[in-house]
Structure 1
Amino acid sequence: MTQGSATPLPAPKERRRLREARALTQAELASRLGVSRSTVRSWETGRTTPRGRKLEAYVRLLGVGTTLSDDAVSGRQEGSVPALVGAGAPLPSRENRASEDRTADGAEPAEHADRGAVDKDRDRDRPGGEGEWGDADQDSAVREPSLTPAQAFDALYAFAAPALVRQTYLLTGRRELARESVERAFQLAWYRWPEVAVDRDPAGWVRATAYEYALSPWHRLRPRYRHPEAPPAGGSERALLDVLLTLPPVYRRTLLLYDGVGLGLPETAAETEASTPAAANRVLHAREAVAARLPELALPEDLHRRLTELGSAERLRAAKPRTVRHHGEHRARQWTRAAIAFTVLLIGVTALTLRTAPDHYEAPLSPPETIHGLPPRSAPGPLSAEELVLRAKLRSQTSSGPERLVPDIR
């Protein structure tokens, strides 16, 4: 069955946004559709596409027929993007996350009769397997027009940049540094777009790059960041930001990813380059530190809500995607020209050195020294008349010399 025009299937990122707007987790949506959570994850990342009755049920649960046109238009605007990426719905509690992890590990949903049904759905999602991947992928490739690299980059920027600026502000407490970090991350993403475009989570790639740039210790040496910025206007927001900034950077980042963005514990550990137990300990210690200063935020749900409110209270706006691409290309050209100029300068210095350097070894001359106790050397004076006559006589003799000088054999 092909996808009809009456029920269009939105883009993968839009599918996730519509699900979060209806406060549905991947496990709940998979349970209603009778598929596994990995299948829903594949649909939302674009690796597979539903078809047949699964497509109709999926579109109906997302409410595409009634709200897709309005949501798709408003979703591209800055104000409609959730305050935190992936945090459009309230963050599930630890018990709900544990149940989702159990479902993802292979526990059967309520609608499945046995584990074989889950495995069958999972096998259909694999490349080369039966069902959705083979024919549906070709149909979706024909139905969905391909985007140019600039259009795909602009879509990613419009989706992730506004929320990412707010997250980076919670991470650093500086508005200008938050905007600069996000712009630099997207400039690097545009420079490496062939790599980022095929990544499983491009928004996560940009988020990790922005966090790394924002937490760089070299910013404290820059004159523009030596003086603190004005704190938030509200007293509660100022207190929460002060508590966050007192945490170590790695604890602050882990808490923001887990309780702010809403990532799972394995994803948080992978993005912070730590083991899962280490990430869990960081989250617990960070929560204890926040609860010690702000007892009203002892519950994770309250902490998530306050983080969202703190990020949304500041007027933080990102630059236009076209401007970011232009600045990124300009920066890349400058670095390329600088590298070429440095290479030419290095080649010129090397050639001059080879041209002027000595090609053989010359022993250095010893410094002169004065020798005492010897008479000075005198030059011979002019010859006298007798000496001149004698010299002429000697020169006139034969080569064998005068007779008196020839030895006598007898």
Structure 2
Amino acid sequence: MTQSPVTPLPAPKERRRLREGRSLSQADVATRLGVSRATVRSWESGRSAPHGSLREAYASLLTAESAHAQVNLRQEDIAPELVGAGAGTGTGTGTGAAQEARPAGGGERSATGRKRSDRAGQRFDRAGERLAANADPDPLEPPLTPTQAFDALYAFCAPALVRQAYLLTGRRELARESVERAFQQAWYRWPEVAVDRDPAGWVRATAYEYALSPWHRLRPRYRHPEAPPAGAADRALLDVLLELPPVYRRTLLLYDGVGLGLPETAAETEASTPAAANRVLHAREAVAARLPELASPEDLHWRLAELASAERLRAAKPRTVRWYGERRAQQWTRAAIAFTVLLIGVTALTLRTAPDHYEAPLSPPETIHGLPPRAAPGPLSAAELRLRAELRSQEMSGPERMVPEIR
């Protein structure tokens, strides 16, 4: 199978001039091609260049005669079985772009991947021509509602994110759960996500964080490993990936699997650019030590894509994800209200029963030794009775009593 000729692109400075001549901003080009604004800026500066169908779409966008011909890059048009799908997840830079054709000699499975990519590129070209031919010279499209925008983002990113989460965890159910939880949080915080510069990157980072959480090992359903892939080569590659530290695994997947640039990879993993580069190099060395045939970054990228596409992983419907997200938000709201009411009741009971003045504590009793016991008065004897009678019979002698007189 011969490789299709590479579509020529104008010089980097000419790309910017053509874009400005058509009154398009970098954000407009990024939206139409399904990539990030940083990717377009990298293309115009000459640091990187698009590949495959994305390259053809970018060239046709710059050289088209009509300034309003709109070409949308859809998820199903760029080989959805690829885990990176460079532009399929919102960013498409780096050395391992998913649209780049692989040289001959990569095996039967690699040839199958090239055929799929070529067919996807042809579908994209035909779809782009139809859209450009039928485009309204002055389209007035109504703005999308929040529900429609969320469903479009979900349909655009969810299939590739599920495959990426599977490469991170090696668990199919956890991969689907991670993506669904990420989109539930995105729907709960949609006013913030909708205005983000890279909504797909926001959802991807959230899904990765949930998938790599160490608390999953405490859940009973995740204490036992799942069934490995059917192919021996796939099992070997997945075992090597799962033996890497989570941060190395995530960095390798973003750079060599998804195809992000090194600065974008460092930013998403919250590391410096040199640290991200060292992680990629160490991860590649670990993979090459176990699988020497994957020493080339390009071969590693295609093997990651084939491993992800070997599993039939499907995400839930966007309506279901939105419903569960709203239900979870309602449950948390009710729990917060119940906890607040309980706290108010406990505080009121404490104020009601608490003492309002100081009471000195009583000293504990102590036993005193060395004092004679106190004698209690007993009955009078016969002599004491005679003495008392005699004293009572005698007249009182002594000074007269002083009696106050009333005047």
What is the Cα deviation at residue 361 of structure 1? 2.5
Does residue 172 of structure 1 match 2:131? no
Greater relative contact order (Cα 8 A, min sep 6): structure 1 or 2?
2
Q: Percent identity?
A: 70
In structure 2, the partner of 1:374 is: 371
Amino acid across the alignment from 2:61: Y
Q: Does 1:212 align with 2:209?
A: yes
User: What's 1:241 paired with?
Assistant: 238
Cα offset, 1:289, TM superposition: 1.1
Matched, 1:58 2:61: yes
Tell me the equivalent position of 1:87: 86
The answer to whether 1:272 aligns with 2:269 is: yes
Q: Does 1:403 align with 2:399?
A: yes
Provide the C-alpha distance between the structure 2 equivalents of 1:93 and 1:152, rounded to a whole number of angstroms: 28
Residue in 1 that maps onto 2:50: none
**Counterpart code for 2:159:** P
Distance in 2, Cα, partners of 1:388 & 1:186: 110
Corresponding position: 1:262 with 2:248: no
SS at match of 1:301: helix
Counterpart in 1 of 2:116? none
Q: What is residue 5 of structure 1 aligned with on the other side?
A: none
For the pair 1:327 / 2:303, whether they are aligned, the reply is: no
Instruction: Give the deviation of 1:363 after TM superposition.
Output: 2.2
SS at match of 1:344: helix
Given the superposition, is the C-alpha separation of residues 378 and 58 from structure 1 closer, same or farther in structure 2, using an over 3 Å criterion? same
Structure 1 CA distance, aligned partners of 2:320 and 2:203? 17
Whichever residue aligns with residue 234 of structure 1, its letter is G
Change beyond 3 A, Cα 1:375–1:159: same
Secondary structure of the residue aligned to 1:83 is coil
Q: TM-score, normalized by length of structure 2?
A: 0.68
In structure 2, the partner of 1:45 is 31
User: Conserved in 1, the CA contact under 8 Å of 2:248 and 2:279?
Assistant: yes
1:163-222 C-alpha deviation (Å, 9 max, x unpaired): 100001001111111111111100000000000000111000000000011111111111
1:154 alignment counterpart: 151
Cα distance in 2, alignment partners of residues 190 and 232 from structure 1: 33
**In the alignment, what sits opposite 2:132?**
none
Question: Equivalents in 1 of 2:163, 2:7: separation in Å?
Answer: 24
| CA separation of 1:350 and 1:88: change in aligned 2, threshold 3 A | closer
Does the 8 A contact of 2:96 with 2:259 survive in 1?
no
Unaligned 5+ residue runs, structure 1? 1-21, 49-54, 97-138
* Structure-1 separation of matches of 2:241 and 2:59: 45
Q: How does 1:2-151 map to 2 (within 5 A)?
A: 35=18, 42-45=28-31, 58=61, 75=74, 81-87=80-86, 94=95, 143-151=140-148
The count of residues paired between Structure 1 and Structure 2 equals 326
CA distance in 2 between counterparts of 1:360 and 1:217 reads 52
**Larger deviation, residues 349-358 vs 322-331:** 349-358
Question: Offset of 1:32 from its aligned partner?
Answer: 6.5
Partner of 1:197: 194
Aligned pair partner of 1:349 in 346, 349, 354: 346
Give 5+ residue unaligned stretches, structure 2.
Answer: 38-57, 98-136, 403-407
Do 1:297 and 1:303's aligned partners in 2 also have CA atoms closer than 8 Å? yes
Where 2:86 maps in the other structure, the secondary structure is coil
- The aligned amino acid for 2:83 is L
TM-score by length of 1: 0.68
- TM-superposed deviation, 1:372: 3.4
Post-superposition CA distance 1:135-174 (Å, at most 9, x none): xxxx98x722101101100000001001100001001111
1:340 to 311, 314, 337: 337
Q: Which residue of 2 aligns with 1:17?
A: none
Q: 1:391 to 1:201 in 2, by over 3 A?
A: farther
Name the amino acid aligned to 1:43: V
Query: Is the CA contact 2:157–2:200 (under 8 Å) kept in the aligned structure 1?
Result: yes
Q: Distance in 1 between matches of 2:93 and 2:376?
A: 113
Confirm or deny: 8 A CA contact 1:78 1:158 kept in the other structure: no
